[in-house]
Chain A
Amino acid sequence: MHPAPSVIIFTTFSGLGFGLLCWLGLGYPDVTGMTALAFFAIAYAMAVGGLVASTFHLGNRKNAIYAFSQWRTSWLSREGIMAVVTLLTFAPYALSLIFAETVIPLLGYVGAMFALITVLTTSMIYTQLKTIPRWNMPLNPVLFLLYALAGGALMAGEAKVAGILILLLTLLQIAAWMMGDGRLSAIGTDKGTATGLGSIGNVRMLESAHTARNYILDEMVHIVGRKHTHKLRIIAAILIGAFPALLLLLTPAGHVTSFVALASHILGVIVGRWLFFAEAEHVVGMYYSRG
């Protein structure tokens, strides 16, 4: 799949933003006044910024309001609704913390739950697609939730919790990469089933339907990034990953270590999300000479 910057920014930063909101809703860190304002400003900026970025790849933004209408069937619609509901739920909670220095615990807990549901709906936009076997596995939503919780804990200053979550996240991410490698061949889709000609013999492309590139190739048969997959996975695992976890768990907690760990983590998540798209094989590739 085409690793468009808009969707990488969207999934990375809205995930982190909703992750931080989740921890703030649970009362971590326990802040009020101007400190609370700073935390909520960062969380809202990331969550809203990510959502705004996701609209950049829309071809026809003027109809965007309709995207809230199909919650009964569409994960993308559910995601839009849950994002707005979560942001609205946190507004009175944040305002009360900042200006009245008063905690409304129930609102915080409900908001935290909504934030996690929002991340879950984001993950399901990708997980639901049977056409992209690498995404279509139960581990995918678990990873999205862990990314949000781990990154959120890191930003909330919960260094030790973040260290453990990040360690767990890194191991599961490595497992997901390895499991993902076998998904396409496991579902059994090949040129034979795509053309229905497999029962006659071995099928290969003789001539494509179009000599020029087209939307399908640009969007779904992206193969440029796959060459360096192995190296990028190692880089992502260290940045997401191994380096921040060691830093957080083995050194005394402090602003500098947290900041360095966060910078490394965010950079790693961006690399990982780039891989998430670039590595994902769409079955439509079977109609072409490339996978």
Chain B
Amino acid sequence: MTALPAHTDKKLGLVIDLDTCVGCHGCVTSCKGWNTENYGVPLSDMDAYGADPSGTFLNRVFSYEVQPEGKAAQTVHFPKSCLHCDDAPCVTVCPTGASYKRTEDGIVLVNEDRCIGCGLCAWACPYGARELDQAAGVMKKCTLCVDRIYNENLEEVDRVPACVRTCPAGARHFGDFADPDSNVSRLVAERGGMDLMPEQGTKPVNKYLPPRPKDTMEAANIPDLKPVTTEASGFLGWLDKALEKL
């Protein structure tokens, strides 16, 4: 049944630091690389070398400009993937039971052997986190690299989602939000981690850290530089005087 579990033992998810992300799209590439050859059908591309290429991605990086009043505009790079919501609307709308949220760790997954590709779960998701693969006709979404994080064939350092492992800026963090002392819980507490579209009532597990406040030229209170001399001396002084006389 596609009922949501009343409680999950763990709440695995990501913290994405909007202050640190440099918008390199490395996470997008590593995500596609890992997930196209592991869990479920490949992430297909359509017309990849033609005039109108498109493809399935589980993670995409947008860039926004924020304009605070009376201050300089800021650029914010914004990675977006499934937030593994506690109250995931994509799960309950599923007619086949293909979409489900795991009781043990809260990961939201799609069982492709039951999916009919109706797309209703993608309609129910406010974040655009689910994409219907155009080659296979089944719904694809972030698995939180469920096939990496418990995989004992990998080095321990690699047992995190591919996007976290690859991020060169350290802007992505993986952990258990049910544990108040975990790295992700501490980051959220220290930096004011926030939900996307809280008014939609989805209770996302993934949290975003807002950009740190920027200082401004005025706030830094740097005194204007004063000229240390008004007259040039030496050769330049002679040149100045000579040119004045012309």
Contacts and interface: CB of A to CB of B under 8 A. Distances in A.
B194 A70 contact: no
Size band of the A side of the interface? 35 or more
A64 B114 CA distance: 8
Interface string A28-54: 000000000000000000000000000
Interface string A273-291: 0000000001110110000
A207 B65 CA distance: 9
Interface stretch (B7-15, B89-97, B218-226, B237-245): B89-97
Interface in B196-246: 196-201, 208, 210-211
A189 B3 contact: no
B62 A209 contact: yes
A28 B134 CA distance: 46
A284 B116 contact: no
Nearest to B209: A196
Nearest to A210: B60
Contact of A63 (B3, B74, B116, B133): B116
Contacts of B89: 129-131
A61 B118 CA distance: 9
Contacts of B66: 197, 200-203
B42 interface: no
A73 B2 contact: yes
Nearest to B62: A209
B119 interface: yes
Interface string A199-235: 1111111111110111110011000000000000000
B96 A58 contact: no
Contacts of A213: 52, 54
Contacts of B117: 58-60
B5 to A, nearest CB: 12
Interface in A122-138: 125, 128-132
B76 interface: yes
A213 B244 CA distance: 65
B143 interface: no
A284 B195 contact: no
Contacts of A197: 18, 64, 66, 76, 210-211
A59 B200 contact: no
A66 B96 contact: yes
A210 to B, nearest CB: 6
B194 A74 contact: no
B201 A214 contact: no
B149 interface: no
Interface stretch (A75-83, A96-104, A171-179): A75-83
Interface stretch (B122-130, B153-161, B164-172): B122-130
Given A207-B63, A284-B126, A70 B197 contact: no
A191 B67 CA distance: 12
Contact of A200 (B55, B92, B122, B210): B210
B147 to A, nearest CB: 21
Contacts of B189: none
A16 interface: no
A219 B124 CA distance: 12
A195 interface: yes
Interface of B: 1-3, 18, 28, 52-57, 60-69, 71, 73-76, 78, 80, 89, 91-98, 113-120, 122-128, 131-134, 136-139, 194-201, 208, 210-211
Contacts of A68: 95
Given A132-B123, A194-B196, 8 more contacts: A63-B114, A67-B96, A76-B93, A129-B123, A210-B54, A214-B55, A216-B122, A219-B132
A9 to B, nearest CB: 16
Contact of A66 (B52, B55, B97, B197): B97
Contact of A58 (B74, B133, B137): B137
Contacts of A210: 54, 57, 60
Contacts of B196: 193-196
A69 interface: yes
A74 B68 contact: no
A106 to B, nearest CB: 31
Contacts of B95: 66-70, 74, 76-77, 80
A223 to B, nearest CB: 15
Contacts of A77: 95-96
B138 A60 contact: yes
A205 B62 CA distance: 8
Interface string A245-285: 00000000000000000000000000000000000001110
B94 A215 contact: no
A219 B132 CA distance: 10
Given A201-B68, A216-B131, A219-B122, A70 B200 contact: no
Contact of B116 (A67, A196, A203): A67
Contacts of B194: 196
